[in-house]
Structure formats: C-alpha cells, structure tokens
C-alpha cells in the first residue's frame, strides 16, 4: 500500500509499505479520509517521546474508513462497515486504564502491553490502510459523511472535556476562546447539550461567522472588544459558568480566570508554546476549578457520533481543503502557512 | 383577593382572603395561571404532615404570574416582571440545605426557620395573589407563555432527576415509562440534552402520539408489546442506559430492572400507591443504581427555563383544559375522572 | 496438581488436573489460601449462567498465594511475589469496561474476548495453582498474612460499594445491617474512612461483639431493640446518613428506607433469596438514592490492601475455620450448616 | 465589651464597643479563643473589597467560645454550649448558595442579603463577644479543647479541599507542600481518610518533625532533596495521585505539575503573592485537574469536628503562642516577624 512515512525532521514522504495484518482484537481499515492537526506539525519537527523511529512511522490520528479485515475475536464489526475512530487505546491493565482513564494510560507508548495512540505511538491514517483496536472504532451512522467522521474525532475532544466538567451545561453560560476546529466543534457540542448563551471569542471574522452559523449565540472579535469585558457584559457581570480555552494563546489563561463566574469552571483544551503566567490566586479566591483533558477518552467519540447522527453537530462545514495522499506535503504546507484560512485540511488516500 | 381554601377533606372552596404582604426576601406575585397535579388531589383528601390547617390553606404549587410587590432587600426582580417558580424553598440552615439539598430540608414544614413548599406547607397559587421567596422565583423569558411557565415547574422535576443521575445523557439510550406530564416533559428534556434513542412507553395512544410530536424517537404501546422486550429490542439486547419511571404503576419497578443495561441507572420520578415488589438482587448483580428525586431542586427550574426559551422543551402543548378560579371544583373533577383525557389542567385566576 | 472440580449439582470432588500455563498478560499463582463464600454454595447447587461445565470447573474466588510463573509481557510482578486478588477482569473492550465499569462487563463470561470472573466463569482458587490476569493481582504488603489477603477481597466489596456512594463518609453516621464477613469488613472500612458513628445491627451476639472489637461505635441486637428505632435514637431522630445493607434479609430493604436520613444513601451489598417488597415512595419522597455494587471493582482491592497494611482493617480475626483442600466437602458442610458459628472458612491447599 | 478595631492600615487597637445583639437566626458567642492567620495580616495592611470601614471593623475569623444568647428561631443550640465556627455564611439566595456553594456566594459582602464572612466582611472574633449565624456554628464535642476548636476551622479548609477532589483518598499517595497550619492539618486529614503514603514537603526541620508526629509517612526537606525527585522516588516513578499545594511559594505550581501522577489531581489551598508561571500544557497532556477551594465550605467543619473528636486530627499541638486580647499587637508582631517559629498564635480574650 501507499503510506506517508516520516524519514526525518519535517521529512514526510509517501512510499510503499506492506498492508498490516490485524492481530486478535484488531481491525484493518481501508482509510477513506484523514484529518490534519497542529499535533501532526509538531511531531514531524520534534518527535514525541513514544513516537516510532524515523523511516518507519506513519502519522495521522483523525481518520475514518471502511473495515477491510477483522482480527480474531472481533465480532463487534463486519467487513464493509464504515467506522470513525478515537486515537487512544489504553493498555487495559495499569491503574488508570482499569479505572477507565485510558487517555492517561501509565503504559503510554508500551505497544507490547497493548497501549496505542494511532498516528502518535503507532502507525496512523496517512496511508491506504490502518490498524486499530476494535474498542477504538465506532460504526458510522448512515447519514454521516467521511468529513463528519473526521471531525467526530475532534468533537470527541470537546465532549471528553465536557464530560470532565460534569457534562451538564444545560442552561449555563459558556465562553469558548479560540474558533479553531476544537473551538468550533466545542461550540456545537455545548449548544447540543443545551448551554445558553454560548459565546465564541476569536480574532478572525470568518471563523466567528462560521461559529455563528454553527450555533454560537454570540461571537466576540477580541480585536474590537476586550474579551473579559465582553463576557462579563453578556453574563450580567457574573462571568461565565464555564470558560473553555481552545486557543493556546499565552494570554488566554489570565483572561479565563477573569471571565469565569465565582465558583465556575475553566476547561483547557489547547496547548501552549511555553509556560503560562496567570493569577492563580484569583481562581483560588473564587473556588474555580481548572480542568484539563487530553484526547477523546471516556467514550466521547460514541457520544459525538450520536450527536452528529442527530444533526446536532456538523463536521463537514469545517473541511476547507482536500488533498490526495501523494499531495500530503502540499497539504501540510497549507496547514503550516495557513494559506487560504484553512480550518480542517484532510487527506483522501 | 379571591382564593381557593381547603375547608375539609375534598372541600375546596373559593373565598375572600386578604392579600398577603411580602416579608424580607419575599415577593408578592399576581398569579396568572396555576397547574393542577395528582399531588393536589391527594392532599385534598389526606392532608400531608406539614399542611396548614383546614379553613386556612390554599393549595397550588405550579403557578406563574407577575411581580406585584417586593419585600425588603429584594432587588433581583422588579415589579411587573413575569416569573416562573419552583415549589420548594429550604430553611437554608440545616445540614442538607447548607449542602444545597433543599428539597430534602431537615426543617421541612418549619415556616419560622424559613422552609416553605408553596401550595403544600404554605399557601400556594390557587388564588389571585401568592407569596414566595425570591430564591424560588425565576424571571420568565419573553418568548414563553404562561402555559410554558406552568410546565417549566414540571420540567424542573425532570431536570432535577436528570441532574441526580449525572445530567450527561448525550448519546445514551433512555426508556421513559409513563407519558403523563412528567414523562412528557422528561422526554423533551432528554432529547434536549442529546439522549438517543429516547423510548417512551405507555398505555394511551394519544399520549404516545403527543410524545412523538414532542421528540420521542420511538414510542411503545405496552398493551401491544411487552415493554421489556421492546426496550431490549431497540437497544440491541443491551437494555437502556437509563430507565426513567414516571408512571407510578406497581409493575414498573420490576420492568425497570429488567429493561436497564448492566451498569445502568434507574430514576424514579413517580409515586406508588403501595409498597412495591421487585427483584432488587438483579439490580445488585448488574451494578445498577436507583436514583430518586423529589421536586425541582438544584436550580433545575432555571435550567428548564433556559431550555424552554431555546425552544428545546415546549410546555403549552400539554395544557388541555383551562378553568377560572371560581370553577376550580369542576377542574378537579375533570382531573379526578380523567374526563376528556386531560394532560395538564390549569386554573386561570 | 490437585484441584476441586464440580462434577454435578453439589458434587465437588478433589482430583488431579494439569497445572495451567499463563498466556500473555496472565500470571500463575501457587494458591496459599482460598476463602469460601455464600456464592460458592449457590453455584454448586444451581450453576450460574456463564459457569464452565460440570466435570471441568474449579470454583473459589477469594484466593491468595505466591507468583509461580509469568505470562508474556508481565513485568509488574516477579516470581515469588505474594499477591492478593480481585475476582473480576473485564474484557477491556465493551462500553462498560472502556469506562472502567468492569464488574458490569457487557461480555461477562466471554473468555475469548478476555473477560474472566475467577472461580465463577473460569477456574478459581480451590486448587494448588490458579491463573489470573495481572491487572487483577496486587502485591501483598509484607505485614499482611494470607488470612488478611483473603479478607482483602471481601473488603474490596466494601470499598467498591463505598466508592459508589462517593467514598467520603468522614463524620457521617453509617448503619450497617448484617454482621457477616461483608458487614464486618464494611464496619472496619467505614471507620477507616472516618465515619462516626458506625452502628452495626445483627441478630447474633458473638458477631456484634466481634464488630465492636473491630471498631463499631455501637451495636444493636435487633432481637432486643427495633432496628429503625435504634438508629433513629442514635442519630438524634434524623436517621443515618448512610445505610449499608449486607444481610440479605427480606425485611432489610424496608428497614433501610425507614432508618435513612432525608437526602441520604442506601447501599445494597447483599443478595436476596426472592423479590423484595418495600415502600419505594418513601425513598422518593426523601430524595434517597439506592446504590448497588457487585464484586470489587474500581481498584477497590488496591485501596483495601493499603488500609490493611496501615492496620486500619484486619482480616485475620474473621477466619474461624481452616481446612485442607482434600477436606473441602467438610468445609462446605460447616459453611452450609453454620456449625460452630463460622465467619470465614478457608481452604489451605 | 473590649474588642480589637482596625482604625487604619496596620492600626489595630483594642477599644470598648457595645456587645452586639443577635438577630433572628443569629447567636451571640462569648469568645474563648481566636486564632491569627496570614489573612489577618493582609487585611490590616490592604483592606479587602468588602471589609467594613476603618474605625469599626473587628477582624478574627478562627474563633471559638460559649453560646451567650440566642436570636429568634434558634433552637439548634443552647446557652452555655461550646461551639466551633466556620467563617462563611452565604446569602442563601444566589445561584451559588442555592446549590450549596456558599463560599462562592455571589452576594459576597452583602450583609443585607444575609452574607457574612466573620472577621472579613463583618465583625469577627478578636473581641470578648462575637455574633454568627447558627448555620455556621457547630457544637464542640466534650473531649476537644479551645485550641482544637480553633484549628478545626483550619482543618475545615483541608477537608473542603479534599471534598472538592472527591474526598476518597484512601490508599492514594498524597504529597503536601508547605507545613504551615493548613499543611499540617491537611496532613492529618489525609491520614484520617486513609491516604498512604502522605509525603510532607517543607523547608523547616521543626515543622517537618511536627508533621511526622502528626502522621506524615515521610517528610522531605526540600533544601536537601529536590521535591520532584523525592516524590517520584517515593511513588515508584509514577508521581503522587494527589498533590496539595499549601505553601504559596511561587515555584510550587510548577513543582506540583511535575510531581503529580498522570491523570492525578492538584489541589491549591494557598495564595500566591503574584501571578504564577508554570507549564500548564504538561498538566493538559497528562489529564491533570487543578482544584481550588476557599474557606471551609460544604459542611467541612462538621466533618473536621468529628475527626477531631475521634482523635484522628489534633489541633492543640499547633498552638505555639497565646496572648491576651490587650496584647494583640504584640501577637501580630510575632506572626509577622515569625519570632520563635510560631505555627498558630492565638488570642485569648
């Protein structure tokens, strides 16, 4: 099969590779589409701790496709089924996995013990075929497209975060900072769960407009209005019940502390390029809890698929660019240089 | 003012009564509408333990109206504001109230210490005016009608129950037994929170059809199909993630245990006329938790109002009969005899 | 090796059997001791749904011993390590296991997919050697005896239940009904977590005296004093914050509802011989939640071992009878006939 | 009566003042002892936002004493009862108080609506008499001293924090940074709840030795050993399940992130003199939640009193200095200059 392989820092090339065979509990999937993400850029430049070596590794952790072969014991799916994925499969035996916290698996990167993070610690979806464990695959409802399926993985990040904060945001005010793919899917997820108002804050007008079309009750261009002032204004001076930080901007944590309600919650879904500085005492004085989640744990993808099938969250509108597998370098150039304001750039192998 | 007063068992008469004056923290409301409920029938026949004496007591706990006067310190509302209510106000000083569990107030019925259950332990809304504590009143969004407001109190019961089970039912299967007002509002609440599928089970075709119009994904006429078989069929043999019992039928607890998924949750929102018999061991063997809630605690009415304002739950379609205050005896006759298949019968004082 | 094998209803015989070999992720343990339990009696008479066939099955689910051999990938333990166990290992791939609810595994009994309940759905510890998955084994602290290790599995049941109700009982009143092994370990667990007072209720004086030695703040002989009256008296009329039912008596659920505080919790750890009858409406009226758990999930055995190593819970005092493996029939006769008031009868292979 | 009054920045003088009269729901207490705390120093120099004006305000929020008079409706206590306190009484009517989050009251400082933070927004305990709401007073068990009662308020801070993180730390590893009064009471609280090991980290040998006497399983002098290395060593490389930051040191948040287990929890109980800088992305990557609490909410003082009465936490050993009310300036000089390594300096009016 054809597959992108990372041969060195920022040296991703499409080469021939044998189609892998599914072991017990595993499934071989013919990849239909694979999303690109900021993490893909980072790990091409600076390999992650548990990343496979140069010359072997195929990244890609937001993929979808059709079941091509089943490993032993797999009867949950059938050949021909369309599936969406979550990236992480825990070892199933460490203290954290036993408790269901598999995105925090203590055997992260230990393939022998069963852990795998598709496209991060094992081969992923920038290829014609990809393997995954059956527990990380979900049958795709008929009314969803491949684009929806790619974004369902992103929505899984949103929902895992919302699960961490309790999952019950109906009637609560939510401020979402950063209208990237995570922020936009989170906006929809919050509306799907009944949050109101959902305020989306960002710097790019086009993104904010898309956010509005996707359900945000109000959008704030933070270059025109101070974000803290705006959120306090909209929430009658109280601050938002929940602030969700999805921008990764260095100033965002301080703003989050200032725009959250007393006794409220801040959820961090983005990553920062450096240590951040903020007034933690203000959070302490106000009984504010700071939640973080990584990836799409706790069955969040299953829930995301359901919301997508119900028409409550839509992924396809976020896909702005499509490239064939052989054009993957060009695809990442577009991602890196933000050419044409890409939101989600996908590879169609 | 004119007010219904209970003069003896099943002896409710409309008489003249002075308009009460709001104490500090209280609000006087001109009642626009007050719903009737099974509880109203019960307490007319057999007074509840903390019910005011015959000759004084005005029942009615599902009311709505316009602010007419404010007690000292009240600035959360203004005269002329339309409000919805929750029935319970805790004492604010017992162990349970301090923890926010005010529907389980340990000073239940102790008016001196501040507890009040409107229309149950103090005068309620079958009158031209009613008093309530400001913390139990919520400003009614402009796009809601009085009918919506009456049913918002019912929806508060649904949401308080959903809060008890975690509030995060997105993508989960829910079976709701009993398409009365609570069951119908719960159906909508579950859909508003993203549950799927929501299965509504009942005996009356008209109710099930209404449930379908209000969002149920499927409805089961339990006179045509065994409810357990139906729920297991719809959930691919697994049982429902959540079963919500709102029928009060003596056979319902056993059915709930049989139709719930391993590790699932049962929420009891109805009351039974007698002790129930069911296979508790089956629940234990399957790690099933049995939740109960009473009333509309934990700020559930605030959330319900938000969902109603968002158009996610609709109350007005449940109002089947309207009576003036002077016709209240006729109204309760209709409720008691189920004449014309009443769902929610309201009094318009 | 020598092993007890169930050849038919109540026909348990000790025979020769090959020592099993550990597969990947599995560990072979030389059994040092195996407790007997009411469940062992039941499954000998009426096989459980997923029980291996007559002529093959070796029961025993409360065992402990020394690591004898390691399957592939196991480096968490070393040969010679002493270990305690929990009975259940989930499939690790169903919806429930993924969320950490492995005692409610949806593939219960499906060995091919990885589920095993030692001594229930696969061979257990009434043998010289037993296999288990590494995730179900815990290294035994040096200061614990085999007797402690056997009872740690029982204490895991207590702690899993306490986990289900929130785990935070410090300063709360707890009433425990039934001073059997589960009730006695739960008494200690509640005291270890700071509950106060812990009231133990039962019918046998000797058991209550042992409960007192193990930390119960007060004990009630329910043949001398009505249990509901007693608990209400001790809790100043409020009822217990938590009622834990570990007796399996048919009258216990009703008593639990009557002795629990408004807004309180009931935890069911016992099984009933038939459907139970109780006033569920009383629980609903009082916002009472009814929790159930099965087995020792959520890493409860790890916590139990820690409490035992800290000297907070003691198992050895519960072991009243010891038998060699060849005397297993005599052992079960003693259990069945309650000869000599046995608390925990153990087999020493 | 005699009372300390703040007449200007750092100008606290003892003067005559009328004994206040308890309103409905309030209790007058003859103060037996009042602890000093870093917060007292801060608010003397820089008044807090809701602090009463200079010339009127009596600080002191860690007091205890004997009931001297009862306001209307108070029957929970009797004259002559010894009581411990919590500082905060919520308004009982804002969104947060209704949910039981009264330390995050949205009407903070609004006395008319019922909020009071004793010694912060209303007069406190550096006086012969003090008022408080009955819901903030707890009867002192007979076996506790005034010193214990003062420290029970501090232990309430510990337990409220532990409640926020779930309250169920039995068998979990906990690292506590900062052996001041909060750190030392938290050490005891963690042991009382069964945590193991509890590692106490600090810079002062005497404090660490006291921590050890009070139950810490190990203590780390961070001037001899790197705290992160030490905690990772003790926890077999995994990091602590829970890190509790009670030092307020600017470097502590970064260390907390580095010493916590993947999927673990950090609880912040201290305040920082300035915005802090730390690698928040590391927390995000590891699914770490950052909890904060303020004061002694959620009935934590009730639980603390129970643990103290059980002998599980001891306060009196922390009281190093005693001063009469007239010597309050000298007392605060000792606190400010840390003369004689004071832990808890108390005023005995």
pLDDT tens digit string along A150-178?
999 999 999 999 999 999 999 999 999 99
Q: Looking at beta carbons, which residues of chain A come within 8 Å of B162?
A: 168
CB B315 within 8 A of CB B152: yes
What DSSP state is assigned to residue D87? S
Q: For the residues of B93-119, what is the DSSP string, one character each?
A: SSHHHHTT-GGG-TTTT-TTTT-EEBT
Q: Does C278 touch chain B (CB under 8 A)?
A: yes
Q: Does D263 touch chain A (CB under 8 A)?
A: yes
The whole-angstrom separation of Cα B185 and Cα B316 is 11
* Kind and range of the H or E run holding D15: strand D11-16
A51/chain D closest Cα distance in angstroms: 15
Question: pTM score, two decimals?
Answer: 0.97
C58-98 per-position pLDDT tens digit: 999 999 999 999 999 999 999 999 999 999 999 999 999 99
B198-209 per-position pLDDT tens digit: 999 999 999 999
ipTM of the complex: 0.97
D contact chains, 3+ CB pairs < 8 A? A, B, C
Indicate the residue of B106, B269, B287 with minimum beta-carbon distance to C101: B287
Asked if B93 and D133 come within 8 Å (Cβ–Cβ), the reply is yes
* Kind and range of the H or E run holding A159: helix A146-164
CA nearest neighbour of B163 among B312, B309, B300? B300
Instruction: Identify the closest residue of chain B to D76 by CA–CA distance.
Output: B94
Q: Does A311 touch chain C (CB under 8 A)?
A: no
A294 confidence band (pLDDT: 50, 70, 90): confident
pLDDT at C294: 87
The structural domains of chain C, ordered by start, are 2-140+315-348 (3.90.180.10), 162-292 (3.40.50.720)
| Cis-peptide into B197, omega within 30 deg | yes
**Six-digit token string for B17:** 């009564």
Residue B257 has pLDDT above 90, yes or no: yes
CB D99 within 8 A of CB A261: no
pLDDT at B294: 87
> What is the CA angle A283-A287-A293, rounded to 5?
70
Q: Looking at beta carbons, which residues of chain C come within 8 Å of D171?
A: 302-307
A42/chain D closest Cα distance in angstroms: 14
C278-306 per-position pLDDT tens digit: 999 999 999 999 999 988 999 999 999 99
Give CA separation, A237 vs A229, A262, D106, in Å.
Answer: 9, 11, 11
In the predicted model, what is the mean pLDDT of chain C?
97
**Six-digit token string for D259:** 């010493």
Q: Which residues contact D64 (CB under 8 A, 6 or more apart)?
A: D31, D32, D33, D34, D82, D83, D84, D85, D140, D146, D149, D150, D152
Residue C60 — left, alpha, or beta (φ > 0 → left; ψ -120 to 50 → alpha)? left
Segments of D61-136 assigned E as strands = 62-70, 82-85, 88-89, 116-117, 129-133
The whole-angstrom separation of Cα B264 and Cα C96 is 9
pLDDT at D125: 98
* β-pair partners for D289: D265
CA nearest neighbour of D105 among D136, D126, D150, D137? D136
Residues with pLDDT less than 50, chain D: none
Q: Does A168 touch chain D (CB under 8 A)?
A: no
Asked if A166 and B168 come within 8 Å (Cβ–Cβ), the reply is yes
**Six-digit token string for C39:** 């469940």
**Six-digit token string for D102:** 């009264």
**In terms of DSSP bridges, do strands D129-133 and D218-221 run parallel, antiparallel, or are they unpaired?**
unpaired
* β-pair partners for D132: D27
Which residue, chain included where needed, has tokens 């005397």? C327
pLDDT at A234: 98
pLDDT at B16: 98
B140-151 per-position pLDDT tens digit: 999 999 999 999
Asked if B306 and A171 come within 8 Å (Cβ–Cβ), the reply is yes
B95-111 per-position pLDDT tens digit: 999 999 999 999 999 99
**Six-digit token string for B148:** 């919506």
Give CA separation, A101 vs A106, B264, C296, C297, C349, in Å.
Answer: 10, 19, 18, 14, 37
* β-pair partners for D220: D201
Handedness of CA D41, D44, D46, D49 (dihedral sign): positive
B138 confidence band (pLDDT: 50, 70, 90): very high
CB B119 within 8 A of CB B61: yes
Indicate the residue of A171, A305, A309 with minimum beta-carbon distance to B302: A171
Q: Looking at beta carbons, which residues of chain A come within 8 Å of D104?
A: 262-263, 286-287
Q: Does C100 touch chain D (CB under 8 A)?
A: no
Q: Does A166 touch chain B (CB under 8 A)?
A: yes
| Cis-peptide into B317, omega within 30 deg | no
């Amino acid at each position: 099969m054809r597959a992108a392989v990372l041969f060195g820092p920022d040296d991703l090339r499409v080469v021939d590779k044998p189609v892998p065979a599914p072991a017990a509990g595993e499934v071989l999937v013919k990849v239909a589409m694979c999303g690109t993400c900021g993490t893909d850029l980072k790990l091409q430049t600076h390999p992650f701790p548990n990343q496979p070596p140069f010359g072997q590794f195929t990244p890609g952790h937001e993929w979808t496709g059709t079941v091509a072969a089943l490993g032993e014991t797999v009867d949950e799916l059938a050949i021909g089924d369309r599936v969406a994925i979550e990236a992480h499969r825990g070892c199933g035996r460490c203290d954290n996995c036993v408790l269901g916290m598999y995105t925090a698996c203590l055997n992260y990167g230990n393939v022998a013990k069963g852990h795998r993070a598709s496209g991060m610690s094992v081969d992923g979806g920038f290829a014609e075929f990809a393997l995954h464990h059956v527990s990380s695959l979900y049958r795709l409802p008929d009314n969803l497209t491949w684009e929806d399926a790619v974004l369902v993985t992103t929505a899984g990040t949103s929902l895992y975060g919302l699960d961490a904060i309790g999952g019950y945001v109906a009637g609560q005010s939510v401020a979402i900072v950063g209208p990237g793919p995570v922020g936009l899917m989170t906006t929809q997820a919050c509306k799907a769960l009944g949050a109101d108002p959902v305020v989306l804050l960002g710097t790019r007008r086009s993104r904010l407009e898309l956010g509005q079309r996707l359900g945000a009750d109000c959008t704030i261009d933070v270059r025109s209005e101070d974000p803290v002032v705006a959120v306090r204004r909209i929430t009658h001076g109280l601050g938002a019940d929940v602030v969700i930080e999805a921008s990764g901007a260095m100033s965002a944590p301080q703003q989050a502390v200032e725009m959250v309600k007393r006794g409220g919650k801040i959820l961090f879904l983005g990553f920062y390029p450096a240590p951040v500085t903020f007034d933690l005492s203000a959070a302490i004085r106000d009984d504010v809890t700071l939640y973080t989640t990584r990836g799409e744990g706790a069955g969040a993808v299953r829930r995301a698929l359901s919301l997508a099938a119900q028409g409550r969250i839509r992924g396809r509108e976020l896909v702005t660019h499509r490239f064939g597998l052989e054009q993957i370098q060009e695809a990442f150039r577009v991602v890196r240089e933000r050419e044409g304001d890409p939101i989600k750039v996908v590879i169609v192998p």
